[in-house]
Amino acid sequence: MAKKKPNKPGSNTIALNKSARHEFSIHDEYEAGISLQGWEVKSLRAGKANISESYVFIRNGEAFLSGATFTPLNAASTHVVAEPTRVRKLLLNRRELDRLTGAVNRDGETIVALSMYWKGSWVKLKLGTAKGKKLHDKRSDAKDRDWQRDKARIMKHSSR
């Protein structure tokens, strides 16, 4: 019997929000399921998703994803009126929802969608509570990244 490969978010990635880590400093990360329609799953399997302009909000004790665009396939959505940017419900535990609500209300953080990936046959969304970065924070992060790259280069050449 063949071994089953472990599900890694990076290997099954549907969509990434690359600008999130540049614009925000991420504090906590959560994994949420998404309530989807059939045509949306088909378009995700085709890789037609964009979460770069999406955000998460909490209303009445439930989390929702807004601004994510799932481009409908012509063949999959002939009999259904497809709305590519509809608000989708996120599936989280009560404890996670309470933590997210507390972070937003008490600490003034925002909830950012970081990545969307397959976990088995389920679509998962990685969320992060974040605070916006100022320009000087972005510059210091770039400086730290450059230093780490240079340090690795120096260590590589000094070991030879």
Q: In the structure, what pLDDT confidence band is assigned to residue 78 with cuts at 50, 70 and 90?
A: low
Query: What is the structure's pLDDT at 2?
Result: 52
C-alpha triplet 127, 81, 53: angle, nearest 5°: 30
The whole-angstrom separation of Cα 155 and Cα 148 is 10
Query: What is the structure's pLDDT at 1?
Result: 42
Threshold 0.75, pTM exceeds: no
CATH C-level class of 13-133: mainly beta
